Amino acid sequence: MWLEKLSYGFLRVLTPLGPRYLKPSLMQRVYLLWLFRNFATLPIKVLSARQQRRIERMCAAKGFVSLPMGAVDLPVLGTLEQRPPIDVEGPPPRFPSRSVSETVAPFAADQNS
């Protein structure tokens, strides 16, 4: 069992669209076997920041693979309960806040005409 997982194991990531599978490299499979040594399923929130970044990089670099139909007996290294967010550029830009009088002034001008 361990040898199968080490040789050609997959990481299962549960997303809102359904499960997705990731084919890690040999060193990544060793790391994932150690990470999931006590639990078959882990929520992303219980991982440390370093572990989350490593999983994020794996998902971004490798991409998800499609599995053949009827592939039920796959050696799964572990299951993440939620896909980690891929935040390459940071949070979306925020618009500068304007005061209420600046926002209402054009409508007040229409009212006076």
Contact between 19 and 29 (Cβ < 8 Å):
no
pLDDT at 88 over 60: no
Q: Is 11 among the domain residues?
A: yes
pLDDT at 20 over 80: yes
Which segments of the chain does DSSP mark as H helices, in order? 2-8, 26-35, 49-62, 100-112
Contact between 51 and 35 (Cβ < 8 Å):
yes
pLDDT at 83 over 80: no
Q: In the prediction, which pLDDT does 41 show? A: 93
User: Which range of residues forms the domain containing residue 74?
Assistant: 2-80
Query: Crossing angle for the helix pair 26-35 and 49-62, nearest 10 degrees?
Result: 140
In angstroms, the CA 86 to CA 102 distance is: 37
> How many domains does the structure of the chain reveal?
1
Kindly report, residue by residue over 28-39, the tens digit of the pLDDT. 999 999 999 999
Q: Please classify residue 95 by burial: count the beta carbons closer than 10 Å to its beta carbon, then call 0-12 exposed, 13-18 middle and 19+ buried.
A: exposed
Kindly report the pTM of this predicted structure.
Answer: 0.66
Is the pLDDT higher at 59 or at 105? 59
**pLDDT tier, 8 (very low <50, low <70, confident <90, very high otherwise):** confident
Q: Is 113 among the domain residues?
A: no
